[in-house]
Amino acid sequence: MQFEKKSAICLLIIMVVLSGCGKAQSEVTEDGYSTDEYEITLNYSDHDPPNGMRTNFIENYWFPEIEKETDGKVEINAIYGGGLLSSSQALNGVRDGIADMGLIYPDNYPNRMFSYELLKLFPEAPDDFESIHGIIDQAMKELPRLRGVLEKNNQKPLLITTGLPIVFASTTELDSLSDIKGEDWRASSRWYMEVLKNMGANPVSVPFDDVYMSLQTGMIDGVMTNYDGFHMMNFYEVAPNIIVAPSLWWSAPFIHTINQDMWDRLPKDIQEGIMRATESAQKEFAKVYQQELEETIQEQKEAGANVKIASDEDIAMFNDEKLFENLRETWVKEAKEVHGIENAEQYVEDMEQIVNDALEDSEE
């Protein structure tokens, strides 16, 4: 009880301090533009630590670009590692203005953001981020529930990033994905656990923060996750037998949003500056994505890990056509019966067309 009381007091203090931020220090002009003296601090919340591919990028590129494009009138106060909002609090926290901006990760809301689960059911995509972003952007335009869940929670999406592609890593020999048969493997979602089961593994649910210890102690034999998260958590130290699959995209996007009420209060020129910075960052992240993939592979090889690129046979084994047809049927059934998406079949058809178009464009 004493601990809970102290925690509540600490949270109250943080909210009081932050309430002084995120507010303009001067009025805007009559036509809605900022005055020369205008300045504002926007609080940004992220559950990841600041040393990952994505958090490094937004800290060192996107946020400075926002400050530059707004002539220094906007400053971003970034709070990482869940210091303000945990991964499960972000959707409500940004909605309610506890943070002005934040990272929304759909995997943390498998029910509230159920529509995003559909992206996982088309596992093969182009291996460059520009194409991946095109898929996500088009899906958010054509499938109303994707953007709608953010609007319902009082948020405007700004920057979209993703993790590096899927990686498979084992404490035992891993010449191909057929080697996972009979072993205990961890995956992050119900759909991927079904895929592991279909491949002959025993799917095991383990919290992400416990994966390193579980691999080290033999509780699990392998892990399937996004490659940048795998690297950031140093899993390669205890699971050094690695297969990276560039064509199996990490289809849960990282959505960087801003509270809609805050956005509406910003002067026109500030909004325009933030959007210019975001467009620039969106393009720049494509370069970072490819560079990070290459550097991660090289760094792990230098550390003694056995890193391979997935073969066509590995990809086919993962992307089993019959299995994913069944999983999409399950998604449609739940979408209709539980989540009220009456035209769920159309969502599947549209998503399939979006991914196929991207694959065809990448081959040209």
Query: For residue 188, what pLDDT is reported?
Result: 87
pLDDT category of residue 6 using cuts at 50, 70 and 90: very low
Q: 């979209």: which residue's tokens? A: 160
pLDDT category of residue 364 using cuts at 50, 70 and 90: confident
Percent of the chain with pLDDT over 70: 93
* 60 and 127, same domain (yes or no): yes
* Lowest-pLDDT choice from 9-13, 238-242, 335-339: 9-13
What's the whole-model pTM score? 0.90
Note whether residue 257 is domain-resident: yes
Q: What is the mean pLDDT of residues 178-183?
A: 97
* 241 and 281, same domain (yes or no): no
Query: For residue 43, what pLDDT is reported?
Result: 98
- Phi and psi, residue 34, nearest 5°: -80, 150
* 126 and 229, same domain (yes or no): no
Domain at 200, CATH number: 3.40.190.10
- Contact in structure between 174 and 168 (CB atoms under 8 Å): yes
pLDDT category of residue 26 using cuts at 50, 70 and 90: low
- Contact in structure between 48 and 103 (CB atoms under 8 Å): yes
Q: How many CA atoms lie within 13 A of 252 on its CB side?
A: 19
Note whether residue 190 is domain-resident: yes
Note whether residue 360 is domain-resident: no
Structure tokens given for 189: 């979602």
* 256 and 246, same domain (yes or no): no
DSSP 110-166: TTTTGGGGGGGGS-B--SSHHHHHHHHHHHHHHSHHHHHHHHHTTEEEEEEE----E
pLDDT tens-digit map of 140-153: 999 999 999 999 99
Does residue 175 surpass a pLDDT of 70?
A: yes
* 171 and 78, same domain (yes or no): no
| Dist. CA 21–CA 234, nearest whole Å | 36
* 185 and 282, same domain (yes or no): no
* 75 and 218, same domain (yes or no): no
- Give the number of domains in the chain: 2
Note whether residue 286 is domain-resident: yes
Percent of the chain with pLDDT over 90: 90
Domain encompassing residue 200 = 166-250+304-331
Angle of helix 344-363 versus helix 129-142 axis, rounded to 10:
150
Beta pairing class for 155-161 and 254-259: antiparallel
Q: 């530059």: which residue's tokens? A: 68
* 81 and 45, same domain (yes or no): yes
- Contact in structure between 163 and 288 (CB atoms under 8 Å): no
* 111 and 191, same domain (yes or no): no
CB atoms within 10 A of CB 332: 19
* 55 and 77, same domain (yes or no): yes
Note whether residue 8 is domain-resident: no
* 54 and 173, same domain (yes or no): no
Note whether residue 364 is domain-resident: no
| Dist. CA 61–CA 314, nearest whole Å | 36
* 207 and 318, same domain (yes or no): yes
Note whether residue 355 is domain-resident: no
Note whether residue 1 is domain-resident: no
